[in-house]
Amino acid sequence: MKRLMVANRGEIACRVFQTAAKMGIETVAVYSDADQQAKHVRSADIAVHIGASEANASYLNIEALIQAAQQSGADAIHPGYGFLSESAAFANAVQNAGLLWLGPDADTITQMGDKGAAKALMTSAGVPVVPGADHADPKAAAEAIGYPVLIKAVAGGGGRGMRKVDTPEEFDAALQRAQSEAQSAFGNADVLVEKWIESPRHIEAQILGDGSSVRCIGLRECSIQRRHQKVIEECPPAFLSRKAQAAIEAAAVLAGQSVNYRGAGTVEFVVGADESFYFLEMNTRLQVEHPVTEAVYGIDLVEWQIRIARGHALDQLPALTAQGHAIEARLCAEDEQGIPSVGVITEFTIPNTARVDSAVASGDQVSRYYDSMIAKVIVHRPSRAEAVEALTKVLFDASITGIDTNRRTLMSLLSAPALQAAAIDTRYFEHHSQAHPMPPMLIAAAKWPLAPQSGAWGADGFSNGVGLQHCWQDDQDNLYLLKANGNQRTLSFAEQSIDIVLQGGARFTADGQVHHYQALGCDDGIEALLDGRFYLHRYAPPASLDGGDSHQVLAPITGRVIQVAVECGQQVESGDLLCVMEAMKMEHSVLAAKSGTIASVNVSEGNTVNQSQLIIEWADD
Ligand code: ADP
Ligand code: ADP
Ligand code: MG
**Percent of the chain whose predicted confidence (pLDDT) is above 70:** 90
CA distance 235 to 214: 20
Q: Within this chain, do residues 26 and 47 fall inside the same structural domain, yes or no?
A: yes
Strands (E), 98-213: 100-101, 149-153, 162-165, 191-195, 201-210
In angstroms, what is the span from residue 107 Cα to ligand 1's centroid? 21
The reply to whether 23 falls in a domain is yes
H helices of 286-400, in order, are: 290-297, 301-309, 384-397
**Ligand 2 lined by 204 (C-beta under 6 Å):** no
Ligand 1 neighbours, Cβ below 6 Å, are 55, 81-83, 157-158, 230, 283, 287-288, 370-371, 373
Query: Could you report the per-residue pLDDT of 218-268, keeping only the tens digit for each?
Result: 999 999 999 889 999 999 999 999 999 999 999 999 999 999 999 999 999
Answer yes or no: do 280 and 417 share one domain.
yes
- For residues 248 and 335, state if they share a domain: yes
Residue 361 has pLDDT above 70, yes or no: yes
Domain boundary among 381, 413, 435: 435
Q: What residue's CA is closest to ligand 2, atom 12?
A: 228
Q: Are residues 464 and 320 in the same domain?
A: no
Whether 577 maps to a domain, the answer reads: yes
Ligand 2 contacts CB of residue 196 (under 6 A)? yes
What sign does the dihedral 316-319-324-326 (CA atoms) show?
positive
Q: Which helix (H) or strand (E) holds 229?
A: strand 229-235
Same domain, 210 and 287: yes
The pLDDT value recorded for residue 451 is 39
Chain Cα centroid distance, residue 304 = 25
Domain that holds residue 143: 131-195
Q: Is the CB of 116 under 6 A from ligand 2?
A: no
Q: Is residue 248 part of a domain?
A: yes
Are both 172 and 264 inside the same structural domain? Answer: no
| pLDDT reported for residue 460 | 42
Instruction: Assess whether the C-beta atom of 482 lies below 6 angstroms from ligand 2.
Output: no
**What atom of ligand 2 comes closest to residue 160's alpha carbon?**
3
The CATH number of the domain holding residue 384 is 3.30.470.20
> Pick from 83, 102, 121: which residue ends a domain?
102
Q: What is the DSSP string of 374-402?
A: EEEEEEEESSHHHHHHHHHHHHHH-EEES
pLDDT band at 142; cut points 50, 70, 90: very high
Domain finish residue from 420, 435, 450: 435
160 CA to centre of ligand 2 in angstroms: 10
Q: Which of 111, 102, 133, 287 is nearest to 195 (CA)?
A: 133
Q: 265 near 217, Cβ under 8 Å?
A: no
Which residue, by CA, sits nearest to atom 5 of ligand 2? 280
The residue whose CA has the least distance to atom 12 of ligand 1 is 82
Answer with the residue of higher pLDDT: 585 or 570. Answer: 570
Q: Give Cα separations from 94 to 20, 65, 67, 265 (angstroms).
A: 19, 9, 10, 19
Of these ranges, 130-139, 176-185, 318-327, 452-461, the one predicted with the greatest mean pLDDT is 318-327
In tens, the pLDDT along 191-217 reads: 999 999 999 999 999 999 999 999 999
Which CATH number goes with the domain that contains 614? 2.40.50.100
Name the least confident of 80-89, 104-113, 474-483: 474-483
Q: Are 520 and 604 contained in the same domain?
A: no
255 and 288 within one domain? yes
Is 201 annotated as catalytic? no
Q: What is the pLDDT of residue 91?
A: 98
Is residue 183 predicted with pLDDT exceeding 70? yes
Q: What tens digit of pLDDT does each residue of 589-602 get?
A: 899 988 999 999 99
| Phi, psi (degrees; rounded to nearest 5) at 511 | 50, 45
The CA–CA distances, whole Å, from 362 to 38, 343, 359, 370, 403 equal 11, 12, 11, 19, 11
Q: What is the pLDDT of residue 471?
A: 64
CATH code, domain carrying 143: 3.30.1490.20
Cα 564 to Cα 616: distance, rounded to the nearest angstrom: 10
Structural domain total, the chain: 5
What is the whole-number distance in angstroms between the Cα of residue 157 and the centre of ligand 3? 6
Instruction: Give which of 102, 109, 20, 31 is closest to 64, Cα–Cα.
Output: 31
* Helix 106-113 with 88-96: angle, nearest 10 deg: 170
Confidence band, pLDDT 50/70/90 cuts, at residue 454: very low
Cβ of residue 285 lying under 6 Å from some atom of ligand 2: no
Read off the pLDDT of each residue in 404-428 and give the average, rounded to a whole number: 92
- One of 163, 285, 384, 408 is an active-site residue; which one? 285
Nearest CA to ligand 1 atom 11: 82
Same domain, 79 and 189: no
Ligand 2 closest atom vs CA 280: 6
Phi then psi dihedrals of residue 304, to 5 deg? -75, -30
Question: Does a structural domain hold residue 50?
Answer: yes
Please indicate whether residue 181, judged by its CB atom, sits closer than 6 Å to ligand 2: no
What is the structure's pLDDT at 18? 98
Please indicate, yes or no, whether residues 471 and 332 belong to a single structural domain of this protein.
Answer: no
Q: What is the pLDDT of residue 64?
A: 98
Alpha helix (H) ranges present in 73-128?
Answer: 88-96, 106-113, 115-125
> Same domain, yes or no, for 278 and 356?
yes
Residue 19 CB partners (closer than 8 Å, separation 6+): 300, 302, 303, 306
What type of residue sits at position 200? P
243 alpha carbon to ligand 2 midpoint, in Å? 23
The residue contributing the CA closest to ligand 1 atom 20 is 82
* Closest ligand (CA of 113): 2
293 within 8 A of 215, measured Cβ to Cβ: no
Residue 475 lies in a domain: yes
Ligand number nearest to the C-alpha of 222: 2
Amino acid at 149: V
Nearest to 218 by CA among 177, 176, 249, 250: 249
Query: How many angstroms is it from 502 CA to the middle of ligand 1?
Result: 47
Which residue's CA lies nearest to atom 9 of ligand 2? 159
Pocket test for ligand 1, best of 6, 32, 58, 81 (most atoms within 8 A of CB): 81
- Residue 270 CA, ligand 3 centroid: distance in Å: 10
Q: Is the CB of 156 under 6 A from ligand 2?
A: yes
Is the pLDDT score of 607 beyond 70? yes
Please indicate whether residue 592 or residue 621 has the higher confidence score (pLDDT). Answer: 592
Distance between Cα 266 and ligand 3 center (Å): 9
Tell whether 598 is covered by a domain. yes
Residue that wins the pLDDT comparison between 512 and 48: 48
Q: DSSP letter at 237?
A: P
Q: Does residue 159 have its Cβ closer than 6 Å to ligand 2? A: yes
Atom of ligand 2 nearest to the CA of 426: 16
Residue 25: inside a domain: yes
Q: Which residues surround ligand 3, an ion (CB under 5 A)?
A: 268
Whether 542 has a pLDDT exceeding 80, the answer reads no
Ligand 2 nearest atom to the CA of residue 225, by list position:
16
